[in-house]
Amino acid sequence: DCALAELLAPLLVSAKAIAQERNLQLITKVPRNLPLVRANTKALREVLNNIIDNALKYTPTGGKIFIQVGQEQDNLQGIAISDTGPGIPPEDLAHIGERHYRGVQAQTDIPGTGLGLAIAKQLIEEMQGKIEVFSPAINSIIASPKAPGTTFIIWLPEVEG
């Protein structure tokens, strides 16, 4: 069992440092008394690192990243990571999570192997959770037509009782 606020705290500290370096605004909303989730802590840490790493590297300077915990749906707890980056076009969205798939970002000089999300998807499914992707972003951060952004939501089963 895993306490999300505790797991996230150190990840958010290092994300804040990288955000600052890249001149990105990182906004976080992580309530203290969340229900525990059923998760493999080490694997969940890797998944969060992958998705936060994407937000940090694909969002151009001056953008915003919003990490929010506390949504509940069908006994699942959601961790939402939104950004004001370029978004993922529909033709790429269909392939997200395939091994070695890189979208339009592959044509830029932003490095990557196209494995981060494939690994994330597999690890979360092993925990009986799921990952949703929305582009344009669906969270209440200010995205514009020029910066439609992306929202990833990681859903994990709550511990009952």
Residues contributing to the site for Mg ion (CB under 5 A): 54, 116
**Residue 93: what are its φ and ψ, rounded to 5°?**
-55, -40
What is the C-alpha R_g of the chain?
15
Identity of the residue, 34 or 85, whose beta carbon is nearer to ligand ATP in the bound complex: 85
Give least dist CB 33 to ligand ATP, A: 29
Residues binding ligand ATP (CB under 6 A): 50, 54-55, 58, 83, 85-86, 88, 92, 96, 101-106, 112-118, 150
Residue 113 touches which member of Mg ion, ligand ATP, none, C-beta under 5-8 Å by kind: ligand ATP
Give least dist CB 104 to ligand ATP, A: 6
In sequence order, which residues have a C-beta less than 8 Å from that of residue 15 and are 6 or more positions away? 26, 52, 56, 65, 67
Give least dist CB 90 to ligand ATP, A: 13
Identity of the residue, 85 or 116, whose beta carbon is nearer to Mg ion in the bound complex: 116
10 Å CB burial of residue 130 (0-12, 13-18, 19+) is middle
Residue 64 touches which member of Mg ion, ligand ATP, none, C-beta under 5-8 Å by kind: none
Kindly provide the residue ranges of all beta strands, DSSP E only, lying in the chain, ordered along the sequence. 25-29, 64-73, 76-83, 130-134, 150-157
* Paired tokens of 82: 């939104």
Identity of the residue, 63 or 116, whose beta carbon is nearer to Mg ion in the bound complex: 116
Cα 28–Cα 32–Cα 5 angle in degrees, nearest 5: 65
Give least dist CB 135 to Mg ion, A: 15
